[in-house]
A and B are shown apart, each in its own frame.
Chain A
Amino acid sequence: MSRVSLALLGALAVLVVLVAIAFSVGRYPIAAGDLATLLWAKLTGAGHGLDSTVETVILKIRGPRVLAAILIGAALSAAGAAYQNMFRNPLVSPDILGVSAGAAVGAVLGIFLSLNVIMIQSLAFAFGLGAVGLVYITANAVRGHDPLLVLVLAGVVVGSLLGASVALMKYLADPYNQLPAITFWLLGSLASANPEDVRSTLPLMLVGLVPMWLLRWRINLLSLDDEEARALGVETGRIRLTVIAAATLMTSAAVAISGVIGWIGLVIPHFARLLVGPDFSRLLPTSVLLGAAFLLGVDTLARTVARIEIPLGVLTAFVGTPLFLWQLATARRGWQ
């Protein structure tokens, strides 16, 4: 069996095990046997004879949260993998063009104006898209430089402006009701994930993932020098725009329901590249599986290791940093 299929199967196996663990552990532990019985009953339509609490915990509480973790982990790492190829830099994350900063402004504004959850999510989504749109339009207006460099610079500049807006709203927010909610959102959490969240984000993520998969060969060529890629027959401007749109759609859909979760989009694609090499047709599925497994694992830790929920953004950094440093120390293959 090739190294690639081994890596994919391994990642899939890890994901399946983590799904089983995620359903079992928690404040209301569920035996693996009960989980299998319920699954079998749901598939065949037969009765299961289990306590109704078990069914509620599995289907209504843990199910959506597990699915959301899988979707968001997959989306963030897919977007990160595409961006790292495109910006020819393994240190790039999906945030580079300001999607998270934009989504943060939207969500914080929603909390600041005391809007309901749906409105907060919608604002986060819209501001995430808007921020990247602004960055893209600004970068396109500046001509005569390396287009990628201008994009990154515009992203940094717009990002810091959005960061200042978030800081201003935090400063003005009601310190007893709004500020904790804002802080909680900015640190990322899946505690409130519900079936509606999954239903609304799944199509958006598929809409983003499909063009990435279809363009997988050309995304490889985006990692070459811009002129070289065009000489090889790639309309780099169009492909780049498509990839940015797809990655932004996926990331803002994810950030809208989970808040800002760092590290995944940076570390997971890097790790996947070490396993299967830089070819995007292998990198994308590996990143998707590893990202899903990583966030599911971290989210399970977040809700089980302590009395209170640990914010995801904090935990991904705590888990991600040593992983990343270990990668740096042990291998340089993914880099040059």
Chain B
Amino acid sequence: MKLEARHLDFGYRDRRVGSDVSLSVEAGQVLCLLGPNGSGKTTLFKTLLGLLPPQAGQVLIDGTDVRQKMRDEVARQVSYVPQAHAAFFPFTVREVVLMGRTAHLGVFSSPSRRDHEAAMAAIDRMQLGHLAESIYTRISGGERQLTLIARALAQEAALIVMDEPTANLDFGNQVRVLQHIQSLEASGIGVLLSTHDPDQAFLCADRVAMLHEGRLACLGAPQAIITAENLQRIYGVEVAVAKVELGSAGRHDVCVPLISRPQAPGAGD
């Protein structure tokens, strides 16, 4: 299973957001997309999912143009985790996850027992069992994000596209989402995600791509891409990338923004 963009120009009807983007993700890989606000990450994702028509170039799923596929065919291969949102009606968590089964149902069918089982399995995997009958609109932002990931799991696609899955989550929930991404990778699912935190790319990605002003600035292994120079070029702030020795936990790369802190008055007296 491979999702591929070839020389993709993308954007909305009257506005080009990005151009000439080529990248690919395969099952069992994690590709992390970094880029400042407004660099076109979400628009690129929507184009990759076939939700927006490309302005030029192609999106291929296993070599077939995404525009030639029916929506349910695409959904069986690639699932989408949008940014956690408010829903309009008070569906339960179980019902929301069950919606992930739609691509496996005939147009006139409703979920069968097998679909209910698949949804419950996805809920259990995200450790949401205690919330299954809770109202989706009343749970916390972190729980909603996990519910949307469970819905993508229930979809049983080989590839999951996650749009800033850690945005608006507290520290613990961010780490939990990263752990889930690792376990997805281990079970052979490919993940394409965007994030604002380069440290997260170090933690979970096989490869990192940087999107800058609608163009792919660089693409490669995390250590090669997340450098002080690249971060400065893209975000326009000074950053140091340091290695941290954690004993038994091994060595980790971390990004530290260089902020010159003004001396507090009276400090050192």
Contact = CB atoms under 8 A, between A and B. Distances in A.
- A complexed with B: yes
Contact of A218 (B14, B46, B51, B102): B102
B155 interface: yes
B171 interface: no
Interface string B92-116: 1001000110110101111100000
A62 to B, nearest CB: 38
A164 B48 CA distance: 47
Contacts of B111: 217
Interface stretch (B22-30, B32-40, B82-90, B261-269): B82-90
B147 interface: no
B49 interface: yes
Interface residues of A, number: 33
Nearest to A277: B90
B12 A144 contact: yes
A218 B103 CA distance: 10
Contact of B49 (A225, A231, A277, A335): A231
Contact of A143 (B13, B85, B86, B109): B13
A278 B94 CA distance: 13
Interface string A269-300: 00001000111010000000000000000000
Contacts of B92: 277
B79 A231 contact: yes
Nearest to B91: A278
Given A231-B79, A235-B71, A279 B88 contact: no
B99 A232 contact: yes
B28 to A, nearest CB: 21
Interface in A202-255: 214-218, 220-221, 223-225, 227-228, 230-235
A216 B46 CA distance: 27
A336 B107 contact: no
A220 B98 CA distance: 11
A227 B51 contact: yes
Given A144-B13, A233-B76, A227 B71 contact: no
Contact of A273 (B14, B80, B89, B100): B89
Interface of A: 85, 88-90, 143-144, 214-218, 220-221, 223-225, 227-228, 230-235, 273, 277-279, 281, 333-336
29 contacts: A88-B89, A89-B88, A143-B13, A144-B12, A214-B108, A215-B107, A217-B105, A221-B99, A221-B102, A225-B82, A227-B46, A227-B51, A227-B82, A228-B80, A230-B71, A231-B75, A232-B103, A233-B72, A233-B155, A234-B72, A234-B102, A235-B70, A235-B71, A235-B72, A277-B90, A278-B89, A278-B90, A334-B90, A336-B90
Closest 8 interchain pairs by CB?
Answer: A233-B103, A233-B75, A233-B72, A278-B89, A231-B80, A88-B88, A214-B108, A144-B13
Interface of B: 12-14, 46, 49, 51, 70-76, 79-80, 82, 85-92, 95, 99-100, 102-103, 105, 107-111, 135, 137, 151, 155
